[in-house]
Structure 1
């Protein structure tokens, strides 16, 4: 990956709907070589997909909850079952296995606390958990989907 590829990715992270001609102009290429580079980034898996970012507040999804999960089970079979349960909840935006005080962390988006409680009840009915702690985001100070491309090699 070179500086042109990083510039292309910066453009696409800013607006995935930009026409190739606009991207080409911004990065200093003609349209066809720019299109070829984008195709290569897609085929290599660097550019996984292009999506639309929606306004959560306008869609009545203004509550973000960070859910820390502890379990006494640490075997592969349990993790596979837990993952199957969690990935089927549309409210779960992100799901991580962690080091430190909690075993797993989820970022959940819901309209309100009642909706979160309903989510929580469905979760604990489907899988055995040792401890679940929920932290409600009071204010979103920074949110981005753009990766820091200065590190890309």
Structure 2
């Protein structure tokens, strides 16, 4: 039986999405619980898979990765072996931070972070050496207007 999230669970998830290092006492106070029941709820959220991991978000500018490139890929290859080769190729390229199979005009979309255009060209060369692609189109982000790792919780069961 699927257990649903209540308003306290949603509040905890919202707070933890903002700062996963929020002390338990602060979380408990914010959701009007004592620390032990609050701790149990957070543990339950982990056990049930609502919290999958905790990470540190690194400032891309500080580590010289100020250029974001969205790479649209179209292919005429739709075989499982080709897709596995493509996945394996992308897995070896750390500059690719997101990778999606799409519906519509584009088959795959990648988000790449690099210091400059020359570094992107190196990524592009590694990509095309790994698999046959019909069309690769690159769009360079001019300005990051919104970036968040927090997901909306209004739809959660």
TM-score range, shorter chain: over 0.9
Distance 1:43 1:98 in 2: 31
Alignment of 1:2-151 (within 5 A): 2-151=6-155
Q: TM-score, normalised by structure 2?
A: 0.95
Runs of 4+ in 1 over 3 A off after TM superposition: none
SS at match of 2:29: helix
* 1:2-58 alpha-carbon deviations (Å, 9 max, x no partner): 110000000100001111111111111111111111111111111000111111111
* 1:111-134 alpha-carbon deviations (Å, 9 max, x no partner): 010000011011111111111100
Distance 2:84 2:32 in 1: 47
Higher helix residue share: 1
Q: Is the 8 A contact 2:14 2:153 kept in 1?
A: yes
Structure 2, gaps ≥5 residues long: none
SS at match of 1:93: strand
Structure 1, gaps ≥5 residues long: none
SS at match of 1:24: helix
